[in-house]
Amino acid sequence: MEMEWKDIPTIQWYGERGIVNAIVTHIGRQSTEDARLSAIKSFLGAIIWAKGKGPDWIDSISDFKMVVELGLSQFGDPDLIIICKTKKNGEDKTYCFFVEAKAVPYRKSKMSNKEGMGKGKYGFNSSINGQLSLKYRFAIALNNWDENVCEENNRKSLSEPKEMGSLYKEELKDNIDRRKIAKKKILDNILEPLGLNNLDAENFYFVAWTWDNDEHIFFKDKEVWNSNGFPLFLKTDPSKMEMRLGWLGYKNLEERLELESSKEYMAARITMKDNNEPDKDNEYYTADKVSLQKWKVFNDNIASLSDNIYAEFEKDKEVTTEKLDGSYSIKYNGRTVAKIIPQHEYTFVGFRLGLDDIVWPKTSYDEHESAVINIHGVFFKGIKFFPNKANIEKVKIFINDCLDDV
């Protein structure tokens, strides 16, 4: 969907961060305190919970604060933190939501827990399940504030419990023994005044905001479970965690907050997605699953075709190539951007989906079969080249078209 000058708001937000900023601005810009409270209740009411029923205290919210992308050092930068105060039966309570937003399906953003933490900018910690796991660990650190906060040489720091760090090092191969934040101003001027120090662990909630439809909510999705893509909340009873684990979809949120009237939000969302949910034929939902097998199981035609395609990539001096046990990997700037994957009937050549700097070429490849392949939760869009009708010139055109956009 293309926008004209008149459709562009004075402030144009972009990307996932822009969508969050537009929502926060929309809520904060309501004209009265009652209207702002109604808006935040609508936002939280749009969340679908793993347990089925949401918190019964939402209607009792008397005040709230929102913090956008707060730098929490080794615990990551949550897209949105919402802190709510309630008054119910004469009792005041504080609750905290960590919201991680993605403008793609959960399946696209997750990574297998087997990958381990600490894999860098494009690794596990940037995945949706990795981010939720980090916020859970941060909540445990806040819950144990008095025991794990210290000040030395005027430098204040908060660490997670030592045993928690050990658990994640063992289960998720974390390369940090004990995660911490050492930003005195954030601890003293934001977290403590918000009442998050020593907050009960049960008062923290964790929400994945993804571009999915109701049929693919991550905590009901077998693909997420089978690929080890679920966030790991160690040392917590899973049944209790279900009451604090939620999913937020764009469609439900837009309906609850009547966001069609918010020019800034709609402009931000449309720059990312034309529609507020993917249809059931979305490529991430329908991707072919393939397994990587040893080269020796393939016949000479498949092996030869794969080698010839690999040779075309090797000609490009800006990428590096690597032959693995069951595939070829093509890397650019240290990350895998393409794969050559032999199968028994064809060789698949695909470029990784979701990378902003790769554009699917518009050239027609009528004699080949396009496909999206799911390899352990990583998605590649490409062509199935069959030995009996593969034209290496067509292969060259396809590869060069894609590489030109890398």
CATH number at residue 292: 3.30.1460
Are the CB atoms for 93 and 85 separated by under 8 Å? yes
Out of 256, 281, 306, a domain closes at 281
Are the CB atoms for 320 and 371 separated by under 8 Å? no
Query: Distance between CA 138 and CA 14 in Å, rounded?
Result: 28
Q: Mark whether 237 and 320 lie in a shared domain.
A: no
Out of 248, 281, 314, a domain closes at 281
- Which range in 99-103, 119-123, 269-273 is most confidently predicted, on average pLDDT? 99-103
Summarised one tens digit per residue, pLDDT across range 21-52 is 999 999 999 999 999 999 999 999 999 999 98
pTM of the predicted protein model = 0.85
The predicted structure's pLDDT at residue 121: 46
Q: Mark whether 251 and 316 lie in a shared domain.
A: no
Q: What is the DSSP letter of 287?
A: P
The predicted structure's pLDDT at residue 399: 77
Closest CA to 181 of 83, 68, 65, 70: 70
Out of 281, 310, 333, a domain closes at 281
Query: Distance between CA 193 and CA 186 in Å, rounded?
Result: 10
Q: Mark whether 258 and 366 lie in a shared domain.
A: no
Helix count and strand count (H, E) for the chain: 14, 16
- Give backbone dihedrals phi and psi of 376, rounded to 5 degrees, phi first: 55, 40
Q: Mark whether 310 and 249 lie in a shared domain.
A: no
The predicted structure's pLDDT at residue 77: 95
Which residue's structure tokens are 């937003």?
Answer: 101
Are the CB atoms for 358 and 405 separated by under 8 Å? yes
Range of the domain at 348: 288-403
Q: Mark whether 55 and 102 lie in a shared domain.
A: yes
Q: Mark whether 379 and 266 lie in a shared domain.
A: no
Average pLDDT of span 374-389: 83
Closest CA to 123 of 73, 174, 199, 65: 174
149-184 as b/e: b if 16+ CB within 10 A? beeeeeebbbbbbeebbebbbeebebeeebbbbbbe
Length of the chain in residues, anyone? 406
Average pLDDT taken over every residue of the chain: 88
Asked if residue 87 has pLDDT above 90, the reply is no
Number of structural domains (the chain) is 2
Confidence of residue 390 (pLDDT cuts 50, 70, 90): low
Summarised one tens digit per residue, pLDDT across range 139-150 is 999 999 999 999
Average pLDDT of span 180-203: 95
Q: Mark whether 302 and 259 lie in a shared domain.
A: no
More confident residue, 221 or 371: 221
Q: What is the DSSP letter of 294?
A: -
Asked if residue 366 has pLDDT above 90, the reply is no
Are the CB atoms for 182 and 198 separated by under 8 Å? no
Q: What is the largest CA-CA distance in the chain?
A: 77
Q: Mark whether 370 and 305 lie in a shared domain.
A: yes
Which residue's structure tokens are 């009652």?
Answer: 34
Query: Distance between CA 268 and CA 131 in Å, rounded?
Result: 23
Q: Mark whether 219 and 297 lie in a shared domain.
A: no
Average pLDDT of span 146-162: 90
The predicted structure's pLDDT at residue 292: 85
Confidence of residue 355 (pLDDT cuts 50, 70, 90): low
Q: Mark whether 197 and 72 lie in a shared domain.
A: yes
Asked if residue 120 has pLDDT above 50, the reply is no
Q: Mark whether 152 and 262 lie in a shared domain.
A: yes
More confident residue, 111 or 131: 131
Q: Mark whether 148 and 240 lie in a shared domain.
A: yes
The predicted structure's pLDDT at residue 101: 96
Q: Which two tokens stand for residue 181?
A: 């934040």
The predicted structure's pLDDT at residue 299: 87
Summarised one tens digit per residue, pLDDT across range 240-249 is 899 999 999 9
- Pairing between β-strand 91-101 and β-strand 204-210 as defined by DSSP bridges: parallel
Provide the 10 A C-beta neighbour count for residue 376: 15
Distance from chain centroid for Cα 113? 14
Describe the crossing of helices 263-272 and 15-28 by its angle, rounded to 10 degrees.
160
